[in-house]
A and B are shown apart, each in its own frame.
Chain A
Amino acid sequence: MRRTARPLTGTALAVAAAALAAAPAYGASAGDLEVSPSSVVPGGQVTVRTAACGTDGTATGDAGAVGAGSLGLAPGPHGQDVTGRFRVPPSAQPGTYEITATCSGSGRRVTGDLVVTLVSGREQVHPRGSVKTGVGGALGPDPLQTAAGVAALAVAAAGGTWLLHRRARGDGI
């Protein structure tokens, strides 16, 4: 991947540097690989960070599980931890993937979970307020029934008139 090419070169240099360094100092909260955001949509950018590799350390990340290949982790702006970035392939399927990073110096391996969702859970905006799902069309008179009623009454009127005529003519109703 073109995106990871440069950090990987950086890693190679860093590996050499790390080899010269003394025993790496572990940070206090150095247990895990922090994945940010922890939930991402396919095609999204992900940043991983860990303090497990100590100050000025480097690491090699593996995001192959989600199809993003390997990446390099270089010291972050604060020097306390190493960070790296990768892009989740647009073709990635929803699911939970394990992302790993191995410290170049100590060989220590840390992992973190990345959740790929179709919709971004983290930036989910909830709707507000009521929903306009009706206009009252069910409430008014039913035009079909009204028309049928009028037609039936017309038939009744015609029948009644006919019968009254017969009666007036003495046809014996």
Chain B
Amino acid sequence: MRRSPRYGSGVRNPANAAMAAVTVFALCSGAWLLRNGAETHAPPQPSAAQARAGQDGRAREQAAVPALPPSPPDRIRIPAIRVDAPLTGLGLTRTGSLDVPPAARKNLAGWYEAGTTPGEKGTAIVAGHVDNAEGPAVFYALGALAKGSTIEVDRRDGSVAVFTVDAVEVYAAKDFPDEKVYGAAHRPELRLITCGGGYSRGTGYQGNVVVFAHLTGSR
């Protein structure tokens, strides 16, 4: 067989060339997929810049608006992290901790039914899973929220309560600041809670990411 002078010892048959290209592409993408798939996808955690500020920080906050009448919430939306989820009612566990929504429904958050309704004066509490056995869940990106982000809650009376994020904190489970997170407030406030603060195979997530927000509007 005579070798093509143009290609020298290179590829002569177009079928071979195509196969070589496919092989190289499959090799590269296969390696990338395996490496990426095996990596851990830890949920984002808040930075120190998102922590609760002192006295001066309060002054920069967006002005609070008067409280809304009580009305149960139906849905929560956080455009900044693409959350749009229905809300279910939550109670307490036997140990007094907040119960959680069923883990199997990954796009479902819950609100503490025996507490304040979002928009009403006081501290309303909403919790959602960061992940379930299958992967990321409704509040996976909660730790990526920043001060000033907007949270909207659809209420059964037809109104929408609009909250603005004041701070995003992460607290260890063994030293959880109950009063800061759940304590009563003199204005309409909202807390969003999910798991976070590091993960260990034996004990799971080490704490909670908590978003602090207050009512800044309604429509």
- C-alpha spacing A128/B181, complex, angstroms: 9
B71 / chain A contacts, CB cutoff of 8 Å: 94, 118
Minimum distance in angstroms from B173 CB to a CB of chain A: 4
A115 smallest CB distance to B (angstroms): 9
**Least Cβ–Cβ distance between B17 and chain A, in angstroms:** 9
Q: Does A129 count as interface, using CB distance less than 8 angstroms?
A: yes
Closest to B24 in A: A156
Q: Is the CB of B204 within 8 A of A135?
A: yes
Q: A143 — nearest CB in chain B belongs to which residue?
A: B37
* Interface SS of B by simple majority: mixed
Interface contact A119-B70, CB-CB below 8 Å: yes
Chain B residues within 8 Å of A163, by CB: 16, 19-20, 23
Closest Cβ–Cβ distance, residue A26 to chain B (whole Å): 34
A74 to B35, CA, bound (A): 81
* Residues B115 and A139 in contact, CB atoms below 8 Å apart: no
Take A125-B114, A137-B132, A145-B37 as given contacts and tell me if A172 and B92 are in contact as well, using a CB distance cutoff of 8 Å: no
A4 CB, min distance to chain B CBs, angstroms:
27
Complex contacts, A128 vs chain B, CB 8 Å: 95-97, 176, 178, 182
Q: Is A142 touching B208 in the complex (CB atoms < 8 A)?
A: no
A65 close to chain B: CB less than 8 A: no
Type the 1/0 row for B117-153, where 1 means its CB is closer than 8 Å to any CB of A: 1001010010111111111110110000000000000
Number of A residues with CB within 8 Å of any CB on chain B:
47
Determine if B49 is an interface residue (Cβ-Cβ < 8 Å).
no
The residue in chain B whose Cβ has the minimal distance to the Cβ of A41 is B70
Per the 8 Å Cβ criterion, residues 142-173 of A in contact with B are: 142-146, 148-156, 159-160, 162-163, 166, 170-173
Measured in the bound complex, the distance between the Cα atoms of B109 and A131 in whole Å is 13
Residues in A neighbouring B26, C-beta threshold 8 A: 152-153, 155-156, 159
B138 smallest CB distance to A (angstroms): 9
**Cross-chain contact A170 with B1 (CB below 8 angstroms):** yes
Which listed residue, B30, B37, B103, B184, touches A156 by the CB 8 Å rule? B30
Residue ID in chain A nearest B113 by CB atoms: A119
A162 CB, nearest partner CB in chain B, Å: 6
How far is B41's CA from A134's CA once the two chains are assembled, in angstroms?
13
Q: How far is the CA of A154 from the CA of B22 in the complex (A)?
A: 12
B11 within 8 A of A: yes
CB of A156 within 8 A of CB of B27, answer yes
A139→B187 CA distance, assembly (Å) = 37
Nearest chain B CB to A146's CB is how many angstroms away? Answer: 4
Q: Which residues of A contact B35 (CB under 8 A)?
A: 149
In the assembled complex, the CB of B76 is this many whole angstroms from the nearest CB of chain A, namely 14
> With A and B bound together, what is the CA distance between A172 and B5 in angstroms?
13
Complex contacts, B41 vs chain A, CB 8 Å: 138-139, 142
Q: Would you give the shortest CB distance from B140 to chain A, in whole angstroms?
A: 6
Name B22's closest neighbour in chain A (CB-CB): A159
Contacts of B201 in A (CB 8 A): 136
Q: What is the bound-complex CA distance between A146 and B112, given in angstroms?
A: 39
Which of B24, B122, B137, B193 contacts A131 (CB under 8 A)?
A: B193
Not counting A127-B112, A156-B30, a sample of 7 additional A-B residue pairs whose C-beta atoms are within 8 angstroms of each other reads A131-B97, A133-B208, A142-B41, A149-B36, A152-B26, A160-B23, A163-B16
What are 20 pairs between A and B in contact, CB < 8 Å? A119-B70, A126-B182, A126-B184, A127-B97, A128-B96, A129-B95, A131-B194, A133-B127, A134-B132, A135-B103, A135-B204, A136-B199, A138-B41, A138-B137, A142-B36, A142-B41, A146-B37, A149-B31, A152-B27, A153-B27
